[in-house]
Amino acid sequence: ATNTQASLGDKTWPEAFQEPELQALIKEAMGNSFDVRIAAQRILEQQAQVKVTRAGQFPQITAGGNGIGADIPSSLGNISSPLAFGGLNLGISWVPDFWGLYRKQTDVQRAKLLNQVWAERAVRVTLVQQITTSYLQLRALDRELEITKQTVKAREESLKLTSTLTNAGSAPLSDQRQAEQLLYTATAQVPQLEQQIAQQENSLSILLGRNPGPIARHADNVLAPRPQDVPVGMPSQLLERRPDIQEAETQLIAANAQIGIARAQFFPQLTITGSAGVGGDSLSNIFSTDSRTIYGIGQLSQPLFMGGKLRGQLQLSQEQQKELIISYQQTIAGALRDVSNALIAMNKTKASREQQQKLVASAEDSVRLARMRYQGGSTAYLEVLTNDTNLYNAQLNLVTAQQNEALTLVQLYAALGGGWK
């Protein structure tokens, strides 16, 4: 793969995994997954938190009114009755953000919002990887069951031949017993594989957010080889795409803003409050000049002695930032390691699968020759038994090699940060 090509990680999951049955499962999981829904809800929660925090930068204006009415007994003196009074007022309170305190607090919440966005994308990446891995494992089990059933049929034919030769006196009874053992070894594997398939379907159903049950899948049980040329892209693209790297970066952004908050605490804070209103005992004079009231208050506070609290808060914020820088570097190193491991696995599993295919071809020919020799009386049944067992094991190992090779594409796709688009 060349670095000038678009990276595999830039592809959407339908482009990366084009099997229709698998695409349908991933789409279903994206809609039903509790983890995805929870992550999406957290984004909405953080959006609301940004609005709440940002409101502190602006003046707070309130309006109110009051009214009093009373019927005063004449025994209390010369008081007009009924007594009535009403008023309206408008209040304002504002803390000018001279030192960026509220602005930095908003920056922290915005960084946390971005963090939640990337956290939701990380959930999607993991879900695509889990669904695809589970699906490929299910396909591999289907293939193992198919091979086992084919082996059972072949061994049934071998037992018929051995029984015929034994009955004719051309072969000892021990050959028939060995053929029976070979057959029953294969038949015993069938229910075990069927159990594993049903349990794998149940596990995949849970990932899909549905009750345990059958899973629709591709009719062909043979796992196709992965594409030969898989572009990886540039390391800089990896930094922009991997959700865990972006999460670490947004945490660092929030930590930087937190330092600004701690520094702003050292400076004086001005609070301005004011109110204007009108009042009177009738509608005719409630808006008169004499009924108006206006006042304003300015309050300035400056921390003088806090016992080292403010310096401690600043130092704490700075040390937390340093920790997050180290964590960010660690996350990048881990991402590069994941990509490297996936590329190594792709090369080695391909080589292993190719050698396993050669082994299966050789084992198939050995079984054919051994059966011909046994039928012609040139060898004992032990040779047939040994070669047949070797073939069955080689076929199952080939399925495992094919599965491992297919899974490396899933591993690389996730390592490159693909799956959230």
DSSP 8: G
d(CA 252, CA 254): 5
Residues 15 and 224: their CA atoms lie apart, in Å, by: 16
Over the chain, what is the mean pLDDT?
Answer: 87
pLDDT at residue number 412 = 92
| pTM, two decimal places | 0.83
- The domains of the chain, with CATH numbers, are 8-60+97-267+309-415 (1.20.1600.10)
Tens of pLDDT along 359-373?
A: 999 999 999 999 999
pLDDT of residue 239: 78
Give me the percent of the chain exceeding a pLDDT of 90.
61
At CB < 8 A and 24+ separation, what contacts does 252-255 make?
Answer: 252/321, 252/324, 252/325, 252/328, 253/107, 253/111, 253/114, 254/107, 254/108, 254/111, 254/112, 254/115, 255/317, 255/320, 255/321, 255/324
Share of the chain above pLDDT 70, in %: 88
> Which tokens go with 359?
């082994």
* Mean pLDDT across 219-240: 72
Amino acid at 207: L
pLDDT digit string (tens) for 189-222?
999 999 999 999 999 999 998 899 999 988 777 7
Q: How far apart are CA 44 and CA 24, in angstroms?
A: 27
SS3 23: helix
Please answer whether residues 171 and 162 qualify as being in contact, where contact means their C-beta atoms are separated by less than 8 angstroms. Answer: yes
pLDDT band at residue 225 using 50, 70 and 90 as cut-offs? low
